[in-house]
Chains A and B, each alone.
Chain A
Amino acid sequence: MLESSFVDRHVKVLFPLPAVVFVALMMVFPVFYTFTISFTNWNLTSGLPPRFVGFKTYLSILQEPRFWAALVRTFYFTAFAVSVETLLGMIWALILNREFLGKNLVKMSLLLPMVSTPVAIGIAWTLFYEPTIGLANWVLRSTGLNPLKWIADKQLVIPSLVIVDIWQWTPMMALIMLAGLAGLSVEPYESAKVDGANGIQIFWRITLPMVSPVILTAVVLRSIDALKTYDIIYAMTNGGPGFSSETLNIYAYNLSFNYFRLGHASVVLFFLFVVVLILSYLVARLRQKLEE
Chain B
Amino acid sequence: MTAKHILSKLVFYILVLFVIVPVLFPLIWIFISSIKTQVDITAYPPKWIFNPTLQNYSRVFKEQNFLQFFYNSTLVGVTAVVFSLLLGLPAAYSIARYKQEKLGLLILVARLMPGIALLLPWYLLFSRLMLVDTYVALILSHMLIGLPIVVWIMTSFFASVPLEIEESARVDGATHQRTFIEIVLPVSTPGIVTSTTLAFLFSWNNFMFSQVLSMEKTKTLPIAVYNFVSYAEVDWGAVMAATVVIIAPAIILTMLFQKYVVRGLTMGAVKG
Chain A residues within 8 Å of B, Cβ to Cβ: 4-5, 7-8, 11-12, 14-16, 18-20, 22-23, 26-27, 29-31, 33-34, 37, 92, 95-96, 100, 102, 104, 106-121, 123-128, 132-133, 135, 138, 142, 167, 171-172, 174-176, 179-180, 183, 214, 217-218, 221, 224, 227-228, 230-231, 234-235, 249, 252-253, 256-257, 262, 265-266, 269-270, 272-273, 276-277, 279-281, 283-284, 287, 290-291
Given A16-B90, A124-B240, are A4 and B246 also a contact pair (CB < 8 Å)? Answer: no
Q: Among B178, B229, B258, which residue has its beta carbon within 8 angstroms of that of A111?
A: B258
CB-CB under 8 A from A132, the residues of chain B are: 44
CB-CB under 8 A from A114, the residues of chain B are: 265
B114 vs chain A, min Cβ distance (A): 4
A116 and B251: CB pair below 8 A?
yes
Q: Report B170-201 CB contacts with A as 1/0, cut-off 8 Å.
A: 00000111101000000000000000000001
A11 and B269: CB pair below 8 A?
no
B19 and A112: CB pair below 8 A?
no
Q: Among B120, B212, B253, which residue has its beta carbon within 8 angstroms of that of A269?
A: B120
B118 and A290: CB pair below 8 A?
no
B222 and A119: CB pair below 8 A?
yes
CB-CB under 8 A from B144, the residues of chain A are: 23, 26-27
Q: How many angstroms between the C-alpha atoms of A171 and B110 in the bound complex?
A: 25
Tell me which of B24-32, B49-57, B64-72 binds A: B24-32
Q: How many angstroms between the C-alpha atoms of A228 and B180 in the bound complex?
A: 36
CB-CB under 8 A from B106, the residues of chain A are: 20, 23
Q: Among A33, A126, A183, which residue has its beta carbon within 8 angstroms of that of B270?
A: A183
Q: How many angstroms between the C-alpha atoms of A18 and B19 in the bound complex?
A: 45
CB-CB under 8 A from A125, the residues of chain B are: 26
Tell whether B134 is near chain A: CB-to-CB under 8 Å: no
Q: Among B95, B105, B251, which residue has its beta carbon within 8 angstroms of that of A112?
A: B251
Given A117-B225, A138-B45, are A123 and B243 also a contact pair (CB < 8 Å)? Answer: yes
Nearest A residue to B156 via CB reads A291
CB-CB under 8 A from B27, the residues of chain A are: 112-113, 116
CB-CB under 8 A from B112, the residues of chain A are: 224, 276, 279-280, 283
A92 and B19: CB pair below 8 A?
yes
A230 and B208: CB pair below 8 A?
yes
A214 and B269: CB pair below 8 A?
yes
Tell whether B2 is near chain A: CB-to-CB under 8 Å: no
A147 vs chain B, min Cβ distance (A): 11
* Further contacts, 4 of them, CB under 8 A, given A125-B26, A249-B114, A276-B114: A22-B143, A115-B261, A135-B29, A276-B109
Nearest A residue to B239 via CB reads A123
CB-CB under 8 A from B94, the residues of chain A are: 11-12, 15-16
Q: How many angstroms between the C-alpha atoms of A234 and B243 in the bound complex?
A: 16
Q: How many angstroms between the C-alpha atoms of A172 and B205 in the bound complex?
A: 17
CB-CB under 8 A from A7, the residues of chain B are: 175-177
A119 and B226: CB pair below 8 A?
yes
The residues in B between 216 and 268 inclusive whose CB is less than 8 angstroms from any CB of A are 221-222, 225-226, 228-229, 236, 239-240, 242-243, 246-247, 250-251, 253-255, 258, 261-262, 265-266, 268
Q: Which of A15, A30, A228, A253 has the most chain B CB atoms inside 10 A of its CB?
A: A15
The residues in B between 125 and 169 inclusive whose CB is less than 8 angstroms from any CB of A are 125, 140-141, 143-144, 147, 151
Tell whether B6 is near chain A: CB-to-CB under 8 Å: no
A228 and B90: CB pair below 8 A?
no
Given A34-B120, A138-B45, A283-B108, are A113 and B207 also a contact pair (CB < 8 Å)? Answer: no
B117 and A171: CB pair below 8 A?
no
B29 and A272: CB pair below 8 A?
no
A-B contact pairs, 12 of them (CB 8 A): A5-B175, A18-B87, A26-B143, A27-B113, A109-B20, A113-B27, A115-B253, A120-B247, A175-B266, A214-B270, A234-B207, A284-B105
Q: Among A107, A112, A230, A257, which residue has its beta carbon within 8 angstroms of that of B115?
A: A230
B24 and A30: CB pair below 8 A?
no
Tell whether B88 is near chain A: CB-to-CB under 8 Å: yes
Nearest A residue to B201 via CB reads A115
- Nearest 7 CB-CB pairs, A to B? A30-B121, A19-B91, A15-B90, A15-B94, A8-B175, A11-B176, A16-B91
A189 vs chain B, min Cβ distance (A): 19
B175 and A4: CB pair below 8 A?
yes
A16 and B95: CB pair below 8 A?
yes
CB-CB under 8 A from A22, the residues of chain B are: 87, 143, 147
Nearest A residue to B88 via CB reads A19
CB-CB under 8 A from B236, the residues of chain A are: 127
B68 vs chain A, min Cβ distance (A): 18
Tell whether B119 is near chain A: CB-to-CB under 8 Å: yes
Q: How many angstroms between the C-alpha atoms of A95 and B17 in the bound complex?
A: 11
A106 and B16: CB pair below 8 A?
yes
CB-CB under 8 A from A270, the residues of chain B are: 117
A171 and B201: CB pair below 8 A?
no
Nearest A residue to B208 via CB reads A230
CB-CB under 8 A from A120, the residues of chain B are: 222, 225, 242-243, 246-247
Q: How many angstroms between the C-alpha atoms of A113 and B21 in the bound complex?
A: 12
Nearest B residue to A142 via CB reads B45
B216 vs chain A, min Cβ distance (A): 17
